Amino acid sequence: MDYRKKLDEFNSTKDYLVCIDSDGCAFDTMGIKQRECFCPWMIAYFGLQPVAQAARECKEFADLYSKTRGANRHVTIKRILTELLPNHPQTKAFGFKVPQFPHYFAWVDDPGSLLSNDGLKRAIASADDPQAKDELSHILEWAERVNWAVKEIVKGIPPFPYVRESMDKLSGRADMVVVSATPLEALEREWAEHGIARYTGLICGQEMGTKTEQIAAVAPHYPEGRVLMIGDAPGDMRAARANDALFYPIVPGDEIAAWKLFYEEGMERFLAGTYVGEYEEMLIERFERALPERPPWEVNR
């Protein structure tokens, strides 16, 4: 499937654009996906059974409660295996040597890599080194197993309160596009399951590039100051800033209140041109306080 074609064919129908992240932002799916789908298979495929509890704490911190919340799965796994888990007290107490995957890490760090299953398949096909091919194939098995688990487990989770109401209120006033690092199949299934895909002009998944690239493809159709990204992670804010878009934060742990505020006030400010400035800065400051840089086992020791 030519995913890029979907981006190239997108056209504006309104003067305003609202980009919306999915996992943890529109849907309360981050916790169940990380705890029940990603984490068990991370422990299994990366050989972390001896320090399973530490691995679980690192995964939850990296993906739910820190500044790497919402990052691509491969970027987060590299952070866990090279930075967080080796420095965890349990890992040190057991003298456990965290397995390293140099060919995988090199692929993650390569700016030319598409960090998705399709990108892995291409890397495997082009690898000359048998060890690199085996290592990347193992990672692909893990990624596919996680996707299987998500499909089997993550069902029936509705959008946060005020998401549907906000989209209905925006309908006719602004175009809406889903901007996400989640695989497209899962996104289309979740948004259709709850009847809100109909509000969107386009649903973008990891196969369509990074969030920055997704916004860059659709934002030029709109005047300056009329593109807003709604997200729950620092990466969402960076993607917005890279495209000179405004950012509305959904604060982790306080999602319902954040969506209620958007429905009642933030949306109208955006459409009226009074969102940028002191109001946006106040919301972002609150958001950044909720996501620390360092894990508690480092800060509190």
The pLDDT confidence band at residue 1, using thresholds 50, 70 and 90, is low
Q: What is the pLDDT of residue 6?
A: 87
pLDDT tens for 52-96 read 999 999 999 999 999 889 788 999 999 999 999 999 999 999 999
Residue 101 has pLDDT above 90, yes or no: yes
What is the pLDDT averaged over residues 155-159? 91
Report the alpha-carbon distance of residue 258 to residue 266 in Å, rounded: 9
- Contact predicate 18/230, CB 8 Å: yes
Mean per-residue pLDDT, 164-186: 94
Centre a 10 Å sphere on the Cβ of residue 9 and count the other Cβ atoms it contains.
9
The residues with which 249 forms a beta bridge, in sequence order, are 231
**Cα angle value 286/87/80 (rounded, 5°):** 65
Q: Shortest CA distance to 149 belongs to which of 38, 35, 24, 31?
A: 38
Do residues 247 and 19 touch, judged by C-beta distance below 8 A? Answer: no
Mean pLDDT, range 238-249, rounded to an integer? 98
Q: What is the pTM of this model?
A: 0.79
Q: For the stretch 32-51, what's the b/e string if a residue is b when 16 or more beta carbons lie within 10 angstroms of its beta carbon?
A: bbbeebbbbbbbebbebeeb
Torsion, Cα 56 60 66 67, to 10 degrees, reads: 100
Name the nearest CA neighbour of 41 among 129, 165, 152, 184: 152
Distance between CA 194 and CA 287 in Å, rounded? 27
Strand partners of residue 30: none
**Interval 197-226 mean pLDDT:** 95
Q: Which CATH superfamily is domain 3-28+159-289 in?
A: HAD superfamily/HAD-like (3.40.50.1000)
User: How far apart, in Å, are the Cα atoms of 247 and each of 200, 252, 284?
Assistant: 18, 15, 8
Quote the pLDDT of residue 5: 86
Question: If pLDDT is split at 50, 70 and 90, which confidence band does 301 have?
Answer: low
Determine the average pLDDT of the residues in 191-197.
95
Q: Is 6 exposed, middle or buried (0-12, 13-18, 19+ CB in 10 A)?
A: middle
What pLDDT is recorded for position 151?
Answer: 87
The pLDDT of residue 3: 76
- Give the per-residue pLDDT at 288: 93
**Percent of the residues in the chain that have a pLDDT greater than 90, as a whole number:** 85
| pLDDT exceeds 90 at position 188 | yes
Is pLDDT above 70 for 224? Answer: yes
Nearest by Cα to 191 from 180, 213, 233? 180
Q: Map out the domains of the chain as residue ranges.
A: 3-28+159-289, 30-153
Per-residue pLDDT of 102-128, as tens digits, reads: 999 999 999 999 888 999 999 999 999
Q: Supply φ then ψ for residue 227, to 5 degrees.
A: -120, 125
